[in-house]
Structure 1
Amino acid sequence: MIGLVIVSHSPRLAEAAVELALQMVHGSVPAIRVAAGVGGGFGTDAAAVAAAIDEVGGPDGVLVITDLGSAVLSAGLALELTESSTEVIVSGGPFVEGITAGLVLAATGAPLAEVAREVSSALDAKVAQLEPLPGPALPASAAGPDPHSADEVLINPEGLHARPAAMFVQAVGGFDAVVDVTNLTTGTGPVTAKSLIGLLSLGAKQGHRIRLDGQGPDAATAVGALRSLLADGFGEGTPARG
């Protein structure tokens, strides 16, 4: 797995953002370090960032996520101070949303470049929710031979919110398959099931019908795993009937 380094002016802000993101991950967690504050106060320290990169650096690389603009400057300087030869990408994605999306995808073993792209687009779902019309869907995977498809209705009370979306990403990450998800009720999508942000952009609520389209050697198994999550309501139950 890749490593993640969180650079913030505030230790409390960084720790809270990481704590929130960890609620979305079940199972193995990527190595993650916080480099925040200076001398017990606010600020960023390039040497601390470099040390954090060296701690989590490995063959899969390190993604650095920052809060304010000067944190980016510290991260850039840190690249000149690191002793590790690991590949490092400093993301320009949003802080809280980026940490959550990046940690969820990194936990599946996704490569550095793919996680960096996910973090960079981490505001897309929020922007789509605020616009009168859905924004452009994230690009779906190219159609392949022998697709495996299914239509299911969301039964859990809150629909496809952050926690179920994270479960989708983690379930698909264990298979040699690509699964696209479309909200048939709203006509939104398709998006890849490996993208937390893409799934949230579907705006899928209880009662909405969604379509799963899978390609790849494990497509049938992957689609089956997602259907099981849907049938179980992601463990969240359904409203009591009066």
Structure 2
Amino acid sequence: MIVSHSEPLARATVDLAMQMAQGERPEVRIAAGADGGFGTDAAAIAAAIDELADLEGVLVMTDLGSAALSTDLALDLRESTQPVRISDGPLVEGTTAAFVRAATGGTLDEVAAEAANALAAKRREEEPSTPAPEPAPEPAAAEASAEATLVNPLGVHSRPAAALARTAGGYDARIRIRNVTADRGPVNGASLVGLLSLAAAKDHVLRIDAQGPDAATAVEELRKLIADGLGEA
């Protein structure tokens, strides 16, 4: 859910995130502007949250501190009882990362962690500080690995990273991806933020490791996806 002082800003943010989360798209609501202008309305926010009462949880992204305060008030006004998290992540980057993770079946905790850590992709010299929690693999889980060379002229920027994350999130396997050339990672294959933090450029070699029932299939599909240009060839 997007809470913003500006409706055009909120809609543009959602439009960008939807471009990255192609295919299965999460439910989204916008509560933006007040009385046809700028501002936030706690009652409108509460009503929007109540529209999502049937979901397992709601992550709220805000643009300014006062939007977060209005959301706090809205939580006292709402009638629904589903878990609601107010993210302190950046609006645009956090919303985009959250959409991609939600589209791959991420839990509320995983989606919230992606949003909170979204700026890590801009810090080129360090790994994400709070990676999304991952379930431990089964002790006897099947394993598979492969390497592929990036052919994308601009490397793994937002759109190919989203394609990689969506594909990785569709398998019953714990997938980790490492930039062998730059010695970065490994990161969660279903994490847009993690993949961007690899700083993977053209001709870099990515290593894919997977554990779980779908390990072999997932690794082969991801290897082919990378070799084919992540949808940009």
Are residue 153 (structure 1) and residue 137 (structure 2) matched?
no
Are residue 136 (structure 1) and residue 142 (structure 2) matched?
no
Shifted more, 206-215 versus 216-225: the winner is: 216-225
Q: How does 1:32-51 map to 2 (within 5 A)?
A: 32-51=28-47
* Aligned AA (1:182): R
Structure 1 match to 2:67: 71
Structure 2 match to 1:230: 226
For the residue of structure 2 that corresponds to 1:23, the secondary structure is helix
Distance 1:163 1:98 in 2: 15
Are residue 172 (structure 1) and residue 177 (structure 2) matched?
no
Q: Which runs of 5+ in 2 are unaligned?
A: none
Structure 2 match to 1:20: 16
Shift of 1:115: 0.3
Shift of 1:46: 0.6
Q: Is the 8 A contact 1:152 1:210 kept in 2?
A: yes
Distance 1:215 1:49 in 2: 41
Deviations 1:54-101 (A, max 9, x none): 112324111111010000001111111111111111111110000100
* Aligned AA (2:100): V
Structure 1 match to 2:198: 202
- Aligned residues, how many? 228
Shifted more, 203-212 versus 146-155: the winner is: 146-155
* Aligned AA (1:175): Y
Structure 2 match to 1:188: 184
Structure 2 match to 1:88: 84
Q: Is the 8 A contact 2:160 2:232 kept in 1?
A: no
TM-score by length of 2: 0.93
Which residue among 50, 54, 64 is the counterpart of 1:54? 50
Distance 2:170 2:232 in 1: 22
Shift of 1:6: 0.2
* Aligned AA (2:77): L
Q: Percent identity?
A: 55
For the residue of structure 1 that corresponds to 2:76, the secondary structure is coil
For the residue of structure 1 that corresponds to 2:206, the secondary structure is strand
* Aligned AA (1:135): E
Structure 2 match to 1:98: 94
Structure 1 match to 2:118: 122
Distance 1:50 1:232 in 2: 45
For the residue of structure 2 that corresponds to 1:116, the secondary structure is helix
For the residue of structure 1 that corresponds to 2:118, the secondary structure is coil
For the residue of structure 1 that corresponds to 2:59, the secondary structure is strand
Distance 1:218 1:64 in 2: 33
* Aligned AA (1:89): R
Q: Is the 8 A contact 1:109 1:173 kept in 2?
A: yes
Shifted more, 35-44 versus 169-178: the winner is: 169-178
* Aligned AA (1:119): A
Distance 1:65 1:213 in 2: 32
Distance 2:159 2:17 in 1: 10
* Aligned AA (1:153): T
